[in-house]
Structure 1
Amino acid sequence: MEQTASSPHDEKGPEAQSPDLLKRLQSWCEDLQKRLPGLVEVGLLRLDGESAGRIAAVPETMPMERIGYREAVARMRATNVAVLVPLDRPEDGIAEAIAMPVKGPGLDTPVVLLVGVGEMPASRLQLLIAQLETSLGWVMHHLTLDTMAQTKREMAIYDQAFLLCAEMLDTETPLEARQTMASLCAKDLGCDRVVLVRQGVLGLKIEAISGETRFDRKSRINDLTRQAAHEAQLRRAPVRWNRGDQNKTSIIGRLAEMHGDAVAMAVPLTNAKGDIDEVVVLHWARADKVPDLKAWSVLWTLSRPILEQKDLAARSTFARNYHAAKLWLKRLFGPRAFRLKLIVSVSLIALFAIFFVKIENTLRADVVIDDPDLRVMSAPMDGFIEGVFVIPGDMVTVGQPLVQLEDDEIKLRIAELEAQIARHTARAAVARANRDRAEAAVADAERSEAEARLSLAQRELEQTVIVARTAGLVLEGDLRQRLGARVTFGEELLRIAPRQGIELQLSVRNRDGDRLAEGLTGQVRLDAAPEVPLTVGVTRIKPGAETIDGELRFVAFGELRSVSSNIENGMQGTARLSLGKAPIYEVWLKPIAETIYMFLWRWMP
């Protein structure tokens, strides 16, 4: 426990006691020592962190740093109740130390009653503690009254500070506001001289002053005033000097001595951003005129924003814009405002990326599978199924046999026709040998007829073997159960999905028609299999536009260059045709801007 003693030059605060209360507390300690036998030392302490300030003590030389006292106070801090600590060995007739907390409304800083007692029986010691607790009521009462009186004084100071700020707000110009502040501060704070120093372009300069100094010292005093203000500006805290301080080389001390002051103080005015552009320098010729400066801190807090608003209102438009730009640059390149720096950096990077980073530019098109080769394999004639060479799931190539129909009747007919042709040929030869031209002509005609029927029969024989017209995958048509069954002309037998070269129809919006061209390539994703990308190339473009689903669209035809899934006519999807690389703004922002422009252009008068 570090003991601190009160100094007549210390600033007054909300927890300081009035001299009258200190006298009454000293008298109370003396009376308590006389009334209660066994009390050797009695003291009142105010605890502040790890230190303790003496309020009253009997005797006045009571050693607060005694080991027993320090241990008692430490235990009382931990438990917040009365503590009795026996000393290992008596000192100055003291055998035990008692520390009791003084509790009451408005006592934010703890007050402790510290008592040193001599040797006495335990019963007598318990009675003594009870009497001390009863006597503390008087201390609580007077400390509470003093706290209330101090609060009233602070409220009065706050009222004066608010009235001073109101006077500053009523002024017309910034210079008038600063002069009003200097004059009223001198009046309300009892100062002999108040100087307002402001940071200018070329350095600190004096803006307002409440008093006059002798002409021969005025220049030197003003120089020291600016230096003292600069010191407070660098320290970012008030700088105070009292007559009798040991530091004789301080700037504020030299200023006070030259001006003949007992107390001098430089108070920095901080704005909402933490910048210090102005400092108030206060002078008092007598120390007893110095008010409670902690209570007046509200004035320093409110005055800087008022002066800042006055300066801003008095500036021209150019000056306001210059100040705003200067402020933004200061925040941008200064050590603070990390969030602003982050936002600006991200914005600059985003702008650079939007205008200079190129990405893939694509043209969106709606797709419909519409390929004439994607058709069913049907029976070319009436007949019976004799053989089946594929089942669903098999891969086939162009010309590969799929189904065999019975051809016995056709082969028998071919044999008959070949015999007829031979007979007609022989008959024509005999007729020519007999020089019977008429008979030879009839035989040749009959032979030609038989040859025509033979050609037709041979073609029918070829059709008995149904072959694949395109390479692909057999989707439907398991004919193994229908071996020997009859089929009719045009009956569906198989379905084959081609594996490449499938034609599809692409349509784009009317506004994108000029970007649709032959040779464009891209990817297609079908609604039936969106996870599988397919490669497509535009092969031809249909002239003009046509209406699709009530919308005017341009149509092109393309070819799927790779197929990895089952494709059927009528499947729909979406294609992205590559247009090359383009800046981000052209890919994403330009279409939005054009849409907004066209909407406004249509509806604006």
Structure 2
Amino acid sequence: MSNPTVVSSSEAVRSLEACRIFAGPVKEFWPKFAQTCASLVNPSVTAVLVNVNGDWKQAAAFPPGREFPVALRGAQFAELMVRVIAEGSILIPGGGPMVPALVLIALQTGDPKESVVLVQALPGVAADHVSAALAVLKLAADTPLLYQRQRQLERARRELINYSQALEILAATNVPTRFLAVAMTLVNELASRYRCVRVSLSWRDGPYLRVIAISGTDKFEKRMLAVQKLEAAMEEARDQDEEIAWPALPDTDVISRDHRAYSEQEKTGSLLTVPVRVTGEVRGVLALEREEIFTEHDALSLRVVADQVARRLDDLHRHDRWFGARWAAAARVELAGFLGPKRTWLKAGVILGALLLAFSVFVPLPYRVNASFIVRADALMHLPAAFEGFIGDVNVRPGDLVKKGDLLVQLDSSDLRVELAAAIAERQRYASESEKAEAERKLSDLRAARALQAQSQARVDLILYRMDRAGLVAPFDGVVVEGDLRERIGAPVRSGDVLIKISQLKGLYVEMKVLERDVDLIADSTRAEVAFNTRPEDTFGVKINRIEPSAVVDTEGNIFVVRGSLENGAEWLRPGMSGVAKIETQKRTLFWICTHRLADFLRLKLWW
């Protein structure tokens, strides 16, 4: 057997440091990482495997293009990967010169849903050197995690710079109060900060975009060919609702024909257009021209700037033209022809007020009493621990749907298995003593041995009974409403401790809380509507079944509980959901609706 060259721990840390501070994308990181790990133990064949939808795919290998000496597929290999993820690392000694030793390390990425394993094959290596290789390669386990955190820090730093720059530009645009002045301030600020030859802003004018501001230029001819070409490039960005750069940014598939045409005509080194969106709709487009090529970071920072200034530009564009004043003047002219030219608004207000008063006094409207509600279930099952032990495995969490017989929680039965083995051995020993006493015709020893054998058998039966109840199964189809034990794996539990609560999804009903002051209004009510906090846009009809005869003290005061059944269900309904209920009552006038609270208050305070 050959002995590989294994670097020291300090040398390994220095080699891995380059990977940890690597600034490139993920697709370039894994080949570099595989090469670095291969350099730690030489000779070796290294592969990085990633679990994609239950199937292990090779993300990188070193040497590249070389077939791995061991098959990285099959059921046995899948079981081996499960062990690696659970244990952190596995060492498999080689079986001779033709069967290499394997070192498998579970890599940390920071994402609990992502499984990545480093596999290194060491052909013809002695067992002690394989252990040394494992110790060195364990130092690489946290390298992907540190790389990801380094990228997150860099991303956070760039976002901080982008938002800081956006706030500075926003502060500069907050000084002017007219739309065109704000637009000129914006393009001049962007031209200065991004070292641009020219920055232009277009805004929607009917169905088209029109250039309204160009940096360094107070006036320009809108019919110029260059302006029309620029507007065509802006329309191209608006149609795709995407930042478009020419030359194109890496890994983009946008159409940039008009951008290329404008750049070739104006002989600009680089062109970048950024949509200005308001509530998801493109209202304008920024176009930046400079000799230096635009990068993805430039596009991202300009997107932040555009998002920050979009609302102010849109508000000024709508109000700077003073459409409201013209509409008000036109309405006054029409009313003056009917009511007379003097005090037109006062006359119109008096007539409108009289009509509203008559409507509020004489026209009854539907009136509904507001109440809070919560969804209850008829069946709720508590699943306790059958014996004192430790939590071994958890398969569900609150909110999971389960079927009858599904295994929910498995208590650790390793201690029970040890006790079972000891009890079986003890039972066998007493059985042997019983046979020996029977053969020697020792009646008293025979009876004692058989009594002890029966006692051992009872102990075996008790242990088997506990092992059968080590797994908590769902007693019926339903949903888990309480018992998030994923962070308590290995924690001790006592016999009788409730671990899981399951509720049936059938038989759900609504429990509404009506204030004491409103209970008289709903005495004859038979129907209500409810809206859930999770989905306020959907309402459900409720048939009122009964009103509890006695009041209950609540945080809001005395309440009466009203129970009702849902007329229509939904798959997402769960026990414990809450929201607002509106209970239908008799029709009331708008005047009564607005004044009955005050009237009741005065009756209580001023009666004699």
TM-score by length of 1: 0.39
Which of the two has higher C-alpha Rg?
Answer: 1
